[in-house]
Amino acid sequence: MTVFSTPFWKKFKFSALLLAFALAAPLPLAAQHHGIDVRQATVAVADDHYLLEANIDIVLSAPLEDALHKGIALYFLLEFEMVRSRWYWFNDKPVSRQQQYRLQFNALTRQYRIGIGGFYQNFPTLGEALQVMSKVRRREDIEPGTLSKGTSYTAGLRLRLDISQLPKPFNLNALGSREWSLGSDWVRWTVSP
C-alpha cells in the first residue's frame, strides 16, 4: 500500500525543475548591475571650439543610494582629453578638460539636486537627475593653433565618482569596496580636425 499518490522521484524531479526555473529567473536591473558605462561619444572640431556629445549609463549601487539619502553629496568627475601620439617623444595632450557634477538629496523637499559649477537644478526622482547627468552636451572654446589641421588625435572620455570628495569615514569605505568605486573605463576614438 502506498502512502503517496505519485512516486517520490516524480515529486523530486518537479521540485528540482521549479528550483532551476527560480534560479534562472532574471533579477531586477538594479540588483544585477551598478556602474557607469559610456555608450556613445563623439566630438566635432571647428576652428575655435569643439562640441562634445556623449550618452552614459549611470546606475548607483545600493550603498551609494543609501549615503545619498542620508545627506552625503556625491561628486562625479567627467574627464575629456585629446592626445596626439609622437613616436620620438612623449605624447602631446593639447586638450584636457574636467567637469564636476554634484549630486545630492534634500530630505526636507524630497528632491534631488545636481550642481554643475554655479548652476543647480532640482529633480523629483533620482532617475531624472541621473538622466540629466548621462546626456553630455558641451561646447568648449580652444585657443587658435592648439589643434593642427590634418593631424589625427585620440579623444578620450570617462566619468567616475570622485571618492576624494567623500567625507573621511566614507572615503575609507570607498577604498576597499567595489560598490563605492564607481567609474567608467576610458573610451577612446580618433578625431581629425
43 close to 51: Cβ distance less than 8 angstroms: yes
The reported pLDDT for the residue numbered 177 is: 67
Q: Determine the CATH number of domain 32-191.
A: 2.60.40
The reported pLDDT for the residue numbered 22 is: 42
- Going by C-alpha positions, the residue among 91, 37, 77, 98 that lies closest to residue 160 is 77
Q: Which three cell numbers stand for residue 124?
A: 523629483
The reported pLDDT for the residue numbered 20 is: 43
Q: What pLDDT digit, counting tens, does each position of 55-85 carry?
A: 999 999 998 999 999 999 999 999 999 999 8
Tell me the whole-structure pTM to 2 decimals. 0.76
The reported pLDDT for the residue numbered 105 is: 97
Residues (pLDDT < 70) of the chain are 1-33, 169-177
